[in-house]
Protein backbone atom coordinates (compact mmCIF):
# COMPACT_ATOMS: atom_id res chain seq x y z
CA UNK A 1 0.00 0.00 0.00
CA UNK A 2 1.42 3.36 -1.04
CA UNK A 3 1.63 6.26 1.41
CA UNK A 4 -0.49 8.31 -0.96
CA UNK A 5 -3.48 6.14 -0.22
CA UNK A 6 -3.55 7.56 3.29
CA UNK A 7 -5.97 10.45 3.30
CA UNK A 8 -4.16 12.41 6.01
CA UNK A 9 -0.87 12.28 4.13
CA UNK A 10 -2.57 13.39 0.93
CA UNK A 11 -4.08 16.38 2.66
CA UNK A 12 -0.72 17.32 4.22
CA UNK A 13 1.04 17.01 0.89
CA UNK A 14 -1.61 19.14 -0.79
CA UNK A 15 -1.34 21.88 1.85
CA UNK A 16 2.45 21.86 1.65
CA UNK A 17 2.27 22.22 -2.11
CA UNK A 18 -0.11 25.18 -1.89
CA UNK A 19 2.12 26.82 0.73
CA UNK A 20 5.20 26.36 -1.48
CA UNK A 21 3.47 27.86 -4.51
CA UNK A 22 2.32 30.79 -2.38
CA UNK A 23 5.84 31.35 -0.99
CA UNK A 24 7.35 31.22 -4.49
CA UNK A 25 4.74 33.72 -5.65
CA UNK A 26 5.55 36.13 -2.83
CA UNK A 27 9.28 35.72 -3.50
CA UNK A 28 8.88 36.44 -7.21
CA UNK A 29 6.64 39.38 -6.48
CA UNK A 30 9.24 40.93 -4.17
CA UNK A 31 12.19 40.14 -6.43
CA UNK A 32 10.68 41.09 -9.75
CA UNK A 33 8.04 43.64 -8.91
CA UNK A 34 8.00 46.52 -11.37
CA UNK A 35 9.77 49.81 -10.81
CA UNK A 36 8.03 52.53 -8.93
CA UNK A 37 6.13 54.66 -11.43
CA UNK A 38 6.29 58.33 -10.44
CA UNK A 39 3.74 59.05 -13.15
CA UNK A 40 1.06 57.43 -11.00
CA UNK A 41 1.94 59.46 -7.91
CA UNK A 42 0.43 62.79 -6.93
CA UNK A 43 3.17 65.29 -7.74
CA UNK A 44 4.48 68.33 -5.93
CA UNK A 45 3.73 71.17 -8.36
CA UNK A 46 6.23 73.97 -8.91
CA UNK A 47 7.55 76.28 -11.62
CA UNK A 48 11.05 75.70 -12.99
CA UNK A 49 12.10 79.15 -11.77
CA UNK A 50 10.68 78.48 -8.30
CA UNK A 51 12.34 75.07 -8.09
CA UNK A 52 15.79 76.42 -8.99
CA UNK A 53 15.38 79.35 -6.59
CA UNK A 54 14.40 77.07 -3.71
CA UNK A 55 17.44 74.85 -4.35
CA UNK A 56 19.77 77.82 -4.60
CA UNK A 57 18.48 79.37 -1.38
CA UNK A 58 18.70 76.21 0.72
CA UNK A 59 19.57 72.89 -0.83
CA UNK A 60 18.86 70.69 2.16
CA UNK A 61 15.42 72.09 2.88
CA UNK A 62 14.60 71.89 -0.84
CA UNK A 63 15.69 68.25 -0.74
CA UNK A 64 13.23 67.62 2.09
CA UNK A 65 10.47 68.95 -0.14
CA UNK A 66 11.44 67.51 -3.51
CA UNK A 67 14.13 64.81 -3.33
CA UNK A 68 12.87 61.44 -4.53
CA UNK A 69 9.36 62.87 -4.93
CA UNK A 70 7.17 63.03 -8.01
CA UNK A 71 7.58 66.63 -9.14
CA UNK A 72 5.51 68.41 -11.76
CA UNK A 73 7.42 71.36 -13.14
CA UNK A 74 6.27 74.11 -15.48
CA UNK A 75 8.69 76.23 -17.46
CA UNK A 76 10.21 77.33 -20.72
CA UNK A 77 12.52 74.99 -22.62
CA UNK A 78 15.87 76.79 -22.85
CA UNK A 79 17.81 73.96 -24.49
CA UNK A 80 17.27 70.48 -25.86
CA UNK A 81 20.15 68.01 -25.58
CA UNK A 82 20.73 64.32 -26.16
CA UNK A 83 22.64 62.48 -23.45
CA UNK A 84 25.26 59.76 -23.97
CA UNK A 85 22.60 57.07 -23.65
CA UNK A 86 20.58 58.68 -26.48
CA UNK A 87 17.87 60.06 -24.22
CA UNK A 88 16.47 63.55 -24.75
CA UNK A 89 17.19 66.04 -21.97
CA UNK A 90 15.17 69.25 -21.73
CA UNK A 91 16.67 72.14 -19.82
CA UNK A 92 14.01 74.40 -18.36
CA UNK A 93 15.17 77.93 -17.66
CA UNK A 94 15.63 79.13 -14.09
CA UNK A 95 15.93 82.78 -13.12
CA UNK A 96 19.73 82.33 -13.02
CA UNK A 97 21.17 81.69 -16.52
CA UNK A 98 23.72 79.30 -14.97
CA UNK A 99 21.15 77.04 -13.41
CA UNK A 100 17.98 75.38 -14.65
CA UNK A 101 16.00 72.18 -14.36
CA UNK A 102 17.48 69.30 -16.36
CA UNK A 103 14.79 66.81 -17.26
CA UNK A 104 15.70 63.42 -18.74
CA UNK A 105 12.71 62.13 -20.71
CA UNK A 106 11.43 58.59 -20.27
CA UNK A 107 10.54 58.37 -23.94
CA UNK A 108 12.11 60.53 -26.60
CA UNK A 109 9.81 63.24 -27.93
CA UNK A 110 10.73 66.09 -30.18
CA UNK A 111 10.53 69.40 -28.33
CA UNK A 112 11.74 72.76 -29.58
CA UNK A 113 13.57 75.37 -27.49
CA UNK A 114 11.26 78.20 -26.44
CA UNK A 115 8.28 75.94 -25.83
CA UNK A 116 6.25 76.38 -22.66
CA UNK A 117 6.02 72.93 -21.12
CA UNK A 118 4.83 70.99 -18.08
CA UNK A 119 6.73 67.83 -17.13
CA UNK A 120 6.39 65.24 -14.44
CA UNK A 121 9.34 63.22 -13.17
CA UNK A 122 11.35 62.14 -10.15
CA UNK A 123 13.67 64.66 -8.55
CA UNK A 124 17.06 63.12 -7.90
CA UNK A 125 18.64 66.25 -6.43
CA UNK A 126 20.74 69.27 -7.28
CA UNK A 127 24.15 69.54 -8.95
CA UNK A 128 24.51 72.86 -10.73
CA UNK A 129 20.99 72.26 -12.01
CA UNK A 130 18.01 70.55 -10.44
CA UNK A 131 17.83 67.05 -11.93
CA UNK A 132 14.56 65.32 -12.80
CA UNK A 133 14.63 61.83 -14.27
CA UNK A 134 12.04 59.55 -15.86
CA UNK A 135 10.09 62.59 -17.08
CA UNK A 136 6.88 62.51 -19.07
CA UNK A 137 5.42 65.57 -20.79
CA UNK A 138 2.09 66.47 -19.19
CA UNK A 139 1.27 69.55 -21.24
Partner 1 sequence: MKKSTFLSLVIISGMITSIHAQDIYYTKKGQVSFFSEAPLENIVAHNNEVTSFIDTKKAEIVFSVLIKSFRFEKALMEEHFNTSYLESDKYPKATFNGKVKNPEVVKPEDGAYQVSVEGTLTIHNVSNPLKTTATVIIKNGLLSGMAMFNIRLTDYRIKIPSVVSGNIAEVVEVRVNCEYTPYDRK
SS3 track for 63-94: HHHHCCCEEEEEEEEEEEEECCCCCEEEEEEC
User: Distance (Å, rounded) from C-alpha 81 to C-alpha 138?
Assistant: 19
Residues 49-78 touching partner 1, rule: CB under 8 A, are 63, 67-68
CB of 71 to partner 1, least distance (A): 12
Footprint on residues 76-95 left by partner 1 (CB under 8 A): 81, 83-85, 87, 89
4: contact with partner 1 by CB under 8 A: no
Residue 127 touches partner 1, criterion: CB under 8 A: yes
Residue 34 vs 139, nearer CB to partner 1: 34
State the Rg of the chain over Cα: 24
Taking phi over 0 as left and psi of -120 to 50 as alpha, with beta for the rest, 40 belongs to: alpha
Is 122 among the residues that bind partner 1 (CB under 8 A)? yes
Among 123, 125, 127, smallest CA distance to 41 is for: 123
Binding site for partner 1 (CB under 8 A): 30-36, 63, 67-68, 81, 83-85, 87, 89, 97-98, 102, 104, 122-125, 127-129, 131, 133
Amino acid sequence: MSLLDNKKIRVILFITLIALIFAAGVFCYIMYRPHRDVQRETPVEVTAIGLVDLYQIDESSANLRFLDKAVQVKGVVAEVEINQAGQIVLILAGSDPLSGVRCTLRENKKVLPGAQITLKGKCSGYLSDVILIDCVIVD
